[in-house]
């Protein structure tokens, strides 16, 4: 790996991992906002309006950073991965253009009304804006995941040209859109995002309950967050299984990497946790012998091709890394199911709000879906290596020819500095908003509602 | 499908991207310009009103850059990769400025401390200025052409993008955006700030006209390939003439304090300058200033007709929607900014 490649990969990984903190939070919060504002319209209770306004403020902060860091991603394809851009442009471009035209414009356009339109439009139109922003953010995820899925399981294309002039061109748009992995991966990503947003609501509500502040709002918020998270965590089990199924059929080398399975053709074990030594090709840990074979074929004895069945140049080298990220994701997924359904059970028994130890756990739990989303993507992307487009274009061939290592050093330092600062400011302001809590209006029939906005922000 | 309404698909996309870039220039141009003028407002209240004048719309305006970039990626992937990697540093600085600007707008109002607000005001003004300058720098380099060999490989050096002509275009773009933004702010403000704006508009318009004349002369003298089209089609000379008339009209509108008319004129100026650039370029997208074989034509860079026609369908459905809700949002927030609506 030369320096330009290493640096460009570090830069892309860093900027995309940082970016991926925010959009899932916006998508998940968007769903919660629709429920909160919907309940306000339905019941007319002020507490739901105040709750919605509070979370809209949090949403604005997260959304703003998501947009700014997202523009970086779009342009980085061109700056650092010019060959890749040329290679996939015919295919990937239409997905990206569709995102810009249909999704991103929708959410950014209506965000203005969501944030500033409280007194300018009727409650119904405002609610409609909230729904459109939420839908827009889900559409954005759709097109991006379709494009990424095409890189994992290309379909509906043919290769034109040779050598450095080769490129993939589209032959069947719908086959490209519904490539073998896109639907399952989209649902997996989307539900991961729901979890991320819902757990932010859960965590903040739990914190307010622990502090005994804004308890009315916090109870309502907790209910909404828990229900969304509980349903999502169960659905995630299903979409996760479906996604693994796609990997099994279309990216067997990735599957073998995920479980640290080396033998050319042998029954494969499933690990609960473990450690892979890629040099000695040994995987040790707590396992269900033949478990992977059972999951894939329904038979503990059926063989599955291991890493040695593939040319060393065509399979991932960071085996232990992928193994660990994958298992961490699964472990967190299971924990979230237990946590949310236990929480709902306690809510049903009317004990939840008095169980301080559980509220403490809920407060910290916001990190769990964040970590799971991150490591899940590490699994998907590192597990795809050494390919940037699976089986077609190698990562090492996809770089910009005009860019030198010193260029990338400069940009990497710039991005690192800016993002570290951005992240600290984000945490500071988020914390401030949370401590400040919902603005509770004192009932005064003489005060027109327009004053509210001034103080809330 | 190879053509639509008798125009081939790569040309359609050349035109569409031109329209998107113009739309971006007109829309983000005024909020960038307002940002570049930000430090001219001394009072806290004025700064807040100025920020809230662009508050609900700047994010939507920036989307045009995202769509324009996405469209260039989709329609002309070869050029997308080439321009962005050859102009690597300006684009990275552009991205960093975009982030700084977004967080400055977002974070400024979150703390009452004087130093905090001062810091974000400066950061907002500097990032807006640098975005305008960098966009102009990129434009200047594209007008001149870049050193590309017959294989479209860049043969220049790291800092070649900084040259007198490109810097002149950068300053011109900044001055135009400042004037454009000042007129937008004049339409959105009243009383003291409005009075302040009238002075600023007067000064920025002089600054712009000075840049406009210098840049036009420099282009005539140093960039002859941009005029080739007028030798072949003299009737097209009406366009640069129109540009001059429109610029004169801006001055006149300012004297009569008819800022909506002035704003529309500066919008047309932005679009016309890009039209003139596009006419000088067509049918190429990137010019080589060392080897004519290094020019990249739209036909060489284009995606397949299949891909272009799918995207044309998207654009046909999507762009009217984008325009509709852009208009809806602007209509919702029409009129002067009232101080009880301040949110930033």
What pLDDT, on the 0 to 100 scale, is given for residue B342?
Answer: 56
A-chain CB neighbours of B285 within 8 Å are none
Task: Tell me the two tokens of residue B241.
Answer: 């003439």
Angle at A5 (CA atoms; ends A377, A420), nearest 5 degrees:
60
pLDDT band at B301 (very low <50, low <70, confident <90, very high): confident
Distance CA B233, CA A203 (A): 68
Question: Looking at CA atoms only, how far is residue A88 from chain B in angstroms?
Answer: 8
> Which among A64, A112, A454 is the nearest to B106, CB-wise?
A64
**Residue B312, C-beta contacts closer than 8 angstroms, at least 6 positions apart:** B4, B9, B12, B13, B16
**Contact call for residues A66 and A23 (beta carbons, < 8 A):** yes
Interchain CB distance below 8 Å, B84 and A83: no
Whether A456 has a pLDDT exceeding 50, the answer reads no
Tell me the shortest Cα–Cα distance from A430 to chain B, in angstroms: 10
Q: What is the mean pLDDT of residues A427-436?
A: 89
* Residues of B whose CB is below 8 A from A457: 109, 343-344
Inter-chain CB proximity A457 and B344 less than 8 Å: yes
Q: Which residue has the higher pLDDT, B321 or A323?
A: A323
Quote the percentage of chain A above a pLDDT of 90: 44
User: Treating both helix axes as pointing N-terminal to C-terminal, what angle do B9-36 and B58-75 enclose, rounded to 10 degrees?
Assistant: 150
Identify the closest residue of chain A to B327 by CA–CA distance: A109
State pTM to two decimals.
Answer: 0.87
Instruction: Using pLDDT thresholds of 50, 70 and 90, give the confidence band for residue A1.
Output: low
**Minimum Cα–Cα distance from B333: chain A residue:** A120
B322: closest CA of chain A, how far (Å): 6
Lowest-confidence range among A165-169, A394-398, B105-109, B339-343? B339-343
Q: Write out residues 267-326 of A within 8 Å (CB-CB) of B.
A: none
Q: Which residues pair with A265 in a beta bridge?
A: A305
Per CB-CB distance under 8 Å, the chain B contacts of A135 are none
Interface of A with B in 146-165 (CB under 8 A): 160
Q: Each residue of A322-353: pLDDT tens digit? A: 999 999 999 999 999 999 999 999 889 988 88
Per this entry, what is the length of chain A?
457
Torsion angle of C-alpha atoms B54, B57, B60, B61, degrees rounded to 10: -50
Least reliable range by pLDDT among A232-241, B49-58, B71-80, B295-304:
B49-58
- Whether the per-residue pLDDT at B22 is higher than 90: the answer is yes
Q: Which residue of A has its CA nearest to B101?
A: A68
State the DSSP H helix or E strand holding residue A282, giving kind and residue range, or none if neither. strand A282-288
Q: Which residues of A touch B110 (CB under 8 A)?
A: 429, 432
Region B115-142 average pLDDT: 93
Mean pLDDT to the nearest integer, B118-133: 93
| CB–CB contact B322 A167 (8 Å) | no
Exposed/middle/buried for A431, CB within 10 Å: 0-12, 13-18, 19+?
Answer: exposed
In the prediction, which pLDDT does A453 show?
Answer: 39
- Residue A253 CA to residue A263 CA, distance in Å, equals 12
List the one residue out of B209, B200, B294 whose CA is nearest residue B243: B209
SS3 of residue A106 by DSSP: helix
- The residue of chain B nearest to residue A97, with distances taken between CA atoms, is B70
A455–B contact, CB cutoff 8 A: no
Q: What is the pLDDT of residues B250-275, one digit of tens each?
A: 888 888 888 888 888 889 989 988 98
pLDDT tier at A19, thresholds 50, 70, 90:
very high
- CA–CA min distance A454, chain B (Å): 6
ipTM attached to this prediction:
0.84
Whether the predicted pLDDT of B335 surpasses 80: no
Q: Which of A238-247, A359-368, A437-446, B191-200 has the lowest mean pLDDT?
A: A437-446
Least Cα distance to B14 among B268, B296, B291, B266 occurs for B296
How far is A38 from A131, CA to CA, in rounded Å? 9
Q: Which residues of A touch B344 (CB under 8 A)?
A: 457
Maximum mean pLDDT: which of A61-70, A399-408, A409-418 = A409-418
A445 pLDDT above the threshold of 50: no
Q: From A101, A94, A100, A93, select the one nearest A77 (Cα to Cα).
A: A93
* Spacing of C-alpha A174 from chain mean position: 24
Q: Tokens representing A48?
A: 């739901």
Residue A119 has pLDDT above 50, yes or no: yes
The mean predicted confidence, pLDDT, of chain B is 86
User: B333 to each of A67, B183, B326, B327, how far by Cα in Å?
Assistant: 22, 17, 11, 10
Q: How far apart are the first and last CA of chain A?
A: 49
- Name which of A92, A171, A407 is nearest B88 (Cβ-Cβ): A407
pLDDT digits (tens, 9 = 90+) for A69-96: 888 988 999 899 988 988 998 888 778 7
Is there a contact between B165 and B197 (Cβ–Cβ < 8 Å)?
no
Which one of A84, A93, A112 has the shortest CB-CB distance to B60?
A: A112
- What does the pLDDT read at residue A138? 92
Q: In whole angstroms, what separates CA A10 from the centre of its chain? A: 19
Please tell me the predicted confidence (pLDDT) of residue A377. Answer: 94
Q: From the list B89, B303, B322, which residue is nearest A410 (CB)?
A: B89
Residue A58's CB is within 10 A of a number of other CB atoms, namely: 20
Q: Per the structure, how many domains does chain A have?
A: 1
d(CA B169, CA B204): 16
Closest Cα to residue B280, out of B87, B145, B163?
B145
Domain limits for position A63:
3-388+395-456
Q: How far is A83 from chain B (nearest CA, A)?
A: 7
Which of chain B's residues have a Cβ under 8 Å away from the Cβ of A77?
A: 73, 80-81
Radius of gyration of chain B (CA): 20
Which DSSP category does A103 fall into? I
Residue B49 with chain A: CB contacts under 8 Å: none
B343–A457 CB contact, under 8 Å: yes
- Give the DSSP H/E element, type plus range, for residue A158: strand A157-160
Q: Look at residue A105 and tell me whether its pLDDT is greater than 80.
A: no
Minimal Cβ distance to A90: which of B304, B318, B344? B304
Give tens-digit pLDDT for B63-113: 788 888 888 988 898 899 889 988 999 999 999 999 989 888 888 888 888
Mean pLDDT computed over A43-55: 90
Query: Which residue from B55, B59, B69 is facing A67, i.e. has the nearest CB?
Result: B59
B73–A85: do the CB atoms touch at under 8 Å? yes
Domain edges within chain B: 8-332
Quick one: three-class SS letters along chain B?
CCEECCEEHHHHHHHHHHHHHHHHHHHHHHHHHHHHCHHHCCCHHHHHHHHHHHCCCHHHHHHHHHHHHHHHHHHCHHHHHHHHHHCHHHHHHHHHHHHHHHHHHHHHCCCCCHHHHHHHHHHHHHHHHHHHHHHHHHHHHHHHCECECCCCCECCCCCCCCCHHHHHHHHHHHHHHHHHHHHHHHHHCCHHHHHHHHHHHHHHHHHHHHHHHHHHHHHHHHCHHHCHHHHHCHHHHHHHHHHHHHHHHHHHHHHCCCHHHHHHHHHHHHHHHHHHHHHHHCCEEECECCCHHHCEEHHHHCCCHHHHHHHHHHHHHHHHHHHHHHHHHHHHCCCCCCHHHCCC
Of A89, A120, A450, the CB nearest to B80: A89
CA A193/CA A196 separation, integer angstroms: 5
What's residue B343's pLDDT?
Answer: 67
A68 and B60 within 8 Å at the Cβ level: the answer is no
> What's the mean pLDDT when you consider all of chain A?
87
pLDDT(A178) > 80? yes
């Amino acid at each position: 790996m030369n320096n330009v490649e290493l640096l460009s990969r570090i830069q892309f990984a860093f900027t995309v991992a940082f970016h991926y903190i925010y959009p899932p939070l916006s998508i998940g919060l968007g769903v919660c906002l629709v429920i909160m504002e919907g309940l306000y319209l339905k019941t007319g209770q002020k507490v739901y309006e105040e709750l919605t306004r509070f979370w809209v403020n949090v949403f604005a902060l997260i959304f703003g950073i998501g947009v700014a860091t997202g523009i970086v991603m779009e342009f980085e394809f061109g700056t650092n991965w010019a060959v890749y851009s040329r290679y996939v442009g015919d295919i990937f471009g239409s997905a990206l253009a569709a995102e810009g035209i249909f999704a991103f414009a929708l959410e950014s356009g209506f965000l203005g009304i969501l944030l500033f339109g409280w007194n300018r439009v009727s409650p119904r139109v405002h609610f409609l804006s909230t729904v459109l922003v939420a839908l827009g953010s889900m559409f954005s995820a759709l097109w991006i995941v379709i494009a990424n899925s095409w890189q994992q399981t290309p379909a509906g294309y043919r290769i034109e040209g040779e050598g450095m002039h080769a490129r993939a061109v589209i032959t069947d748009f719908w086959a490209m859109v519904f490539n073998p992995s896109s639907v399952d991966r989209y649902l997996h990503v989307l539900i991961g995002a729901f979890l991320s947003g819902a757990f932010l609501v859960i965590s903040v509500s739990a914190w307010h309950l622990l502090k005994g502040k804004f308890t009315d709002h916090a109870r309502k918020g907790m209910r909404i967050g828990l229900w969304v998270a509980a349903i999502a965590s169960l659905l995630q089990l299903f979409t996760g299984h479906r996604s693994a199924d796609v990997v099994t059929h279309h990216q067997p080398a990735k599957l073998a990497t995920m479980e640290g399975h080396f033998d050319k053709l042998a029954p494969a074990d499933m690990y609960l946790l473990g450690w892979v030594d890629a040099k000695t090709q040994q995987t040790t840990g707590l396992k269900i012998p033949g478990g992977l074979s059972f999951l894939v074929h329904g038979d503990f004895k059926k063989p599955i091709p291991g890493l040695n069945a593939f040319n060393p140049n065509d399979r991932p080298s960071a085996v232990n890394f992928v193994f660990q990220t994958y298992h961490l994701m699964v472990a967190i997924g299971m924990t979230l199911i237990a946590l949310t359904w236990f929480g709902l059970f306690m809510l049903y028994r009317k004990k939840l709000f008095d169980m301080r130890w559980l509220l403490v756990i809920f407060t910290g739990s916001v990190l769990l879906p964040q970590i799971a989303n991150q490591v899940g993507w590490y699994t998907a992307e590192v597990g795809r290596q050494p390919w940037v487009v699976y089986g077609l274009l190698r990562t090492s061939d996809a770089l910009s020819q005009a860019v030198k290592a010193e260029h990338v050093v400069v940009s990497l330092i710039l991005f690192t500095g800016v993002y570290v600062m951005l992240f600290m400011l984000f945490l500071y302001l988020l914390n401030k908003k949370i401590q400040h809590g919902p603005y509770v209006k004192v009932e005064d029939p003489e005060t027109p509602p327009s004053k509210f906005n001034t103080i809330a922000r | 499908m190879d053509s639509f309404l008798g125009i081939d698909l790569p040309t359609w996309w050349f035109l569409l991207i031109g329209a998107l870039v113009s739309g971006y220039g007109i829309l983000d141009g005024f909020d960038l310009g307002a940002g570049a003028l930000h430090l001219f407002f001394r009072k806290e209240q004025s700064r807040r009103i100025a920020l809230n004048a662009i508050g609900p719309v700047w994010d939507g305006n920036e989307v045009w850059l995202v769509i324009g970039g996405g469209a260039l990626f989709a329609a002309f992937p070869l050029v997308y990769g080439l321009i962005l990697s050859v102009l690597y540093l300006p684009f990275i600085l552009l991205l960093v400025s975009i982030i700084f600007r977004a967080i400055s707008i977002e974070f400024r109002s979150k703390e009452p401390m004087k130093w905090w607000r001062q810091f974000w005001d400066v950061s907002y003004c500097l990032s807006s200025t640098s975005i305008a300058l960098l966009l102009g720098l990129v434009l200047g380099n594209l007008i001149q052409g870049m050193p590309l060999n017959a294989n479209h490989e860049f043969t220049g050096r790291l800092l070649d993008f900084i040259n007198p002509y490109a810097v002149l275009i950068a300053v011109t773009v900044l001055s135009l955006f400042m004037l454009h933004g000042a007129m937008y702010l004049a339409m959105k403000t009243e009383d003291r700030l409005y009075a302040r704006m009238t002075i600023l508009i007067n000064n920025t318009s002089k600054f712009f006209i000075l840049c406009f004349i210098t840049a036009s002369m420099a282009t005539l003298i140093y960039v002859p390939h941009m005029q080739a089209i007028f030798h072949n089609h003299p009737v097209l000379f009406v366009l640069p003439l129109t540009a001059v008339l429109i610029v004169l009209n801006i001055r006149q509108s300012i004297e009569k304090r008819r800022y909506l008319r002035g704003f529309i004129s500066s919008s047309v100026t932005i679009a016309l300058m890009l039209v003139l650039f596009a006419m000088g370029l067509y049918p190429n997208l990137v010019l080589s200033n060392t080897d004519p074989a290094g020019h990249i034509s739209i036909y060489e860079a284009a995606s397949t007709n299949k891909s272009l026609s799918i995207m044309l369908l998207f654009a046909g459905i999507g762009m009217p929607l984008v325009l509709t809700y852009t208009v809806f949002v602007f209509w919702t927030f029409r009129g002067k900014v009232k101080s009880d609506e301040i949110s930033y």
